[in-house]
Amino acid sequence: MLDADARLPMIPLTKFNGKRFVLNALYIEQIEAFPDTTVTLTNGKKFVVRETVEQVAALASEFYRQIGAFRLPEAGGLNRERE
């Protein structure tokens, strides 16, 4: 069983049938609600999950933050570097 608090290198999701799995967020192309949340990967494979679009997007954003992708400077960070 997956621990929701565990630090995974991927995002934990729940298939519509209740089965838990982890997904590498780098392969997510789009997240839609039909009304069920459907995650489409870059290879065209689709997963229908119980999480909402907002929850999947938040998990993906946290995944990117954990791996250091898309780092943004802190407020005022660019100006401090020039001083």
pLDDT at 30 (0 to 100):
97
For residue 38, which phi and psi values (nearest 5 degrees)? -120, 125
Sequence ranges of the domains in the chain: 27-69
Q: pLDDT digits over 9-42, tens only? A: 699 999 999 999 999 999 999 999 989 999 999 9
pLDDT at 68 (0 to 100):
80
How many Cα atoms occupy the beta-carbon half-sphere of 79 within 13 Å?
Answer: 2
Location of structure tokens 């250091």: 68
Tokens representing 38 are: 């459907």
Inter-residue contact 27 to 13 (CB < 8 Å): no
Q: pLDDT digits over 41-62, tens only? A: 999 999 999 999 999 999 999 8
pLDDT at 33 (0 to 100):
96
d(CA 54, CA 3): 20
Average pLDDT over residues 64-68: 83
